[in-house]
Amino acid sequence: MWGVGCIFTEMITGVPAFPGVRDIQDQLDKIFKVVGTPTEETWTGVTQLPNYKPHRLVLHRPRRLATVFPRLNDIPHAESLAMQFLQIQPNKRISSEAALRHTYFDDLPQQIYELDADQSIFSVGGVRLAQELRNYPTSVIQAAREIRKLV
Domain containing residue 105: CATH number: 1.10.510.10
CA distances from 114 to 97, 111, 120 (A): 19, 5, 11
Report the residue count for the chain.
151
**Confidence class of residue 139 from pLDDT cuts 50, 70 and 90?**
low
CB atoms closer than 10 angstroms to residue 82: 24
What domain range includes position 33? 2-150
Alpha carbon distance, N-terminus to C-terminus of the chain: 31
Return d(Cα 82, Cα 104) in angstroms, integer: 10
pLDDT at 54 over 90: no
pLDDT at 132 over 70: no
Alpha helix ranges (H) inside 1-151: 2-13, 24-35, 65-68, 78-85, 96-100, 110-113, 138-150
More confident residue, 113 or 78: 78
pLDDT at 130 over 80: no
Residues 134 and 10: beta-carbon distance below 8 Å:
no
Residues 72 and 78: beta-carbon distance below 8 Å:
yes
What pLDDT sits at residue 5? Answer: 98
Per-residue DSSP letter, 125: T
Residues 131 and 125: beta-carbon distance below 8 Å:
no
Q: Which of 1-5, 64-68, 86-90, 133-137 has the lowest mean pLDDT?
A: 133-137
Query: How large a percentage of the chain has pLDDT more than 70?
Result: 85
pLDDT at 76 over 90: yes
What pLDDT sits at residue 38? Answer: 94
Q: Mean pLDDT, the chain, as a whole number?
A: 87
Q: What is the mean pLDDT of residues 43-59?
A: 89
> How many domains is the chain partitioned into structurally?
1
